[in-house]
Structure 1
Amino acid sequence: MKIEIWSDVMCPFCYIGKNNFEEALNKLPFKDEVQVEWKSFQLDPSLDPKQTQNTIEYFREKKGFPEAQATQMISQVAQMGKGAGIDFNFEKALITNTFSAHKLLHLAKKYNKSNEMEEALFIAHFIDGKNVGDTEVLVSLAESLDLDKEEARQAVTTDQWDNEVNQDILEARNNGVSGVPFFVLNGKYAVSGAQPVEAFEEALQQTYKETVSPFKDISGSSGASCDADGCSI
C-alpha cells in the first residue's frame, strides 16, 4: 500500500502529522506492506533563500499578525507538538526558502532515505535552529545519513532536481491541495492536516481493507466448492 505525503520543511503541522501517522502505522499488522513517499510543497516560495527570519518576525512582517497574536499561535502549536512527542524550539527556528531542502529530499529518495531525510530536516529546522536553506547545513545533513558529500552539494546547488520538486508542487496544485500535510492513501483516499493518531489508524485500516486485503466472504457459510485438493459439498 502506497502513502504519498505532501509536506514542507517549515510546516510544524507536517512534523506533528508525521509523528502521529507513524505512531498509527506502527500499531497495524500490515505496517511492513506500506510504502511511504514524501512529496514536495512550498508554503511560501516567495521567501529569499539568502535571508532568514525568526518565527515572530515572519508572522508579523509577512502575514501581518500582531506580535501578541503570533506569540499565542506559536504557543498553541508548541503545545500540540508536545502531544506528538515534539519539543518545538520556535525561538531558534529560522524561516527561509525551502526549495533547496526539497531538492536534497529528492536525492535522499533516490537512495530510499527520504523518510530519514524528512525527519533530519524537521529536527534541523524546528529543534536545532539550523538554516535549512544553507548549502553547508544541507550537505552536513546528507553526510549524517551516509549520502555522498559532493553528490549532495551538487543536488542543492544545481538544477538537477528542480523538475522533480516542481512536479510535486504542480501535482498538488492540480489535485486541489492548498495546505499541508496532505496524505493520499493508495490513490483512493485523502487525509488532510495533522490528524490524531486514532484518525490515521482508522483511515489506514479502511484503505487497506478496501484496496489491499483479500476479498471478505460475506456468504455466512461454506457452500459446495473445489480447490487444489479436490471438491467438497
Structure 2
Amino acid sequence: MAELRIDIFSDPVCPWCLVGIHRLNKAIAALNDGTKVSIFHHPYLLDANAIKEGEDSETMLKRKYGVDPAEMWDRLEAEAKKSGLDLDMRKQKMRYPSQAAQVLVAAAESRGTQHAMSMAMSKATYLDALNISDPEVLVDIGTANGFTREEVLALVTREDLQKEVENASVSASQQGVQGVPFFILGNKYGLSGAQPEEVFQEALETVIKEAAE
C-alpha cells in the first residue's frame, strides 16, 4: 500500500484555510484506494495578539488592509462555492484568538482525530459563527473528537500550552511559512494557498508516483 504524509500549517480563523483544506480533502478522496494518507497539523497564528474578547471582523480587516472587505469576502465566497462549500463571510461578525483552539488540535494528534478536529474548528468559526476561544464551544468540539469535557477544559485553559502554539507559529514563519494554508506533501513539495482541486490532485499523484519509483 502506498503511503503519503501531508503536513498542514493553518489557522482556524483563516477562511482561506477552510477552503484550501476542503479542496485538499476532495483531492484525497479522489485518490486510488491503495494510498494511505496521514495528515499532521501544525499551528500558525494570523494574529498572535488578537483581542481576547474578540474584535469586529470588518473593523479588523479595514485596519489591516485599509479597504472595505466586501470585495474580498465576495471573491472568497465565490471560490468556496466552486468547491461545493457554502460560505457566508458576513455570518461570523467577530475575529477571536485561536491559541486555545490550536492547543486542542495539537493534542488531538494522540487521539487520531487531529484532521477532523482542525476541520471542525474552521467550520465552527465560519459556518456556525461560533467563538472558538470560548472553552464551552471547545468542549463541544473536543468531545465530538475523542476527548472528555474534563480533558478539554484542562487543555484549553493552560497558558503554557497556548504559549507553545505561539512559539510554534513563530518557528514556522522562521522556516519559511509566510502565509496559510501551507501544505507539505511527502516531506518534499510545498504548496501555498487554497489551490484549485486539480492542482492538489496533480501534486498528490506526482508525490505518490515518485515514492513508488
Q: Same fold (TM over 0.5)?
A: yes
Structure 1 Cα separation of the partners of residues 10 and 204 of structure 2: 19
Following TM superposition, by how much is the alpha carbon of 1:160 offset from its aligned partner in structure 2, in angstroms?
Answer: 5.5
Aligned counterpart, 2:54: 52
Following TM superposition, by how much is the alpha carbon of 1:181 offset from its aligned partner in structure 2, in angstroms?
Answer: 0.5
| Structure possessing the higher radius of gyration over alpha carbons | 1
Percent of aligned pairs sharing the same letter:
29
Structure 2 Cα separation of the partners of residues 204 and 27 of structure 1: 10
Return the letter of the residue paired with 1:76: R
Following TM superposition, by how much is the alpha carbon of 1:163 offset from its aligned partner in structure 2, in angstroms?
Answer: 6.0
Following TM superposition, by how much is the alpha carbon of 1:14 offset from its aligned partner in structure 2, in angstroms?
Answer: 0.6
Report the secondary structure of 2:64's partner residue: coil
| 1:69-108 aligned within 5 A | 70-93=69-92, 94-108=94-108
Return the letter of the residue paired with 1:112: G
- What is the aligned length? 209
Aligned counterpart, 2:44: 41
Cα distance, 1:30–1:39 mapped onto 2, change above 3 Å: farther
Gapped regions of structure 1 (runs ≥ 5): 216-233
Structure 1 Cα separation of the partners of residues 185 and 58 of structure 2: 35
Aligned counterpart, 2:31: 28
Structure 1 Cα separation of the partners of residues 181 and 22 of structure 2: 12
Q: TM-score, structure 2 length as denominator?
A: 0.91
Aligned counterpart, 2:194: 194
Report the secondary structure of 1:22's partner residue: helix
Return the letter of the residue paired with 2:66: F
Cα distance, 1:31–1:107 mapped onto 2, change above 3 Å: farther
Cα distance, 1:37–1:202 mapped onto 2, change above 3 Å: same
Structure 1 Cα separation of the partners of residues 9 and 205 of structure 2: 20
Structure 1 Cα separation of the partners of residues 128 and 115 of structure 2: 18
| 1:163-202 aligned within 5 A | 164-166=164-166, 168-202=168-202
Aligned counterpart, 1:221: none
Structure 2 Cα separation of the partners of residues 189 and 26 of structure 1: 19
Indicate the RMSD between aligned Cα atoms, in angstroms. 1.8
Are the counterparts in 2 of residues 89 and 128 from structure 1 also a CA contact under 8 Å? Answer: no
Runs of 4 or more, structure 1, over 6 Å off, are none
Aligned counterpart, 2:67: 66
Structure showing greater relative contact order (alpha-carbon pairs closer than 8 Å, 6 or more residues apart) = 2
Q: TM-score, structure 1 length as denominator?
A: 0.83
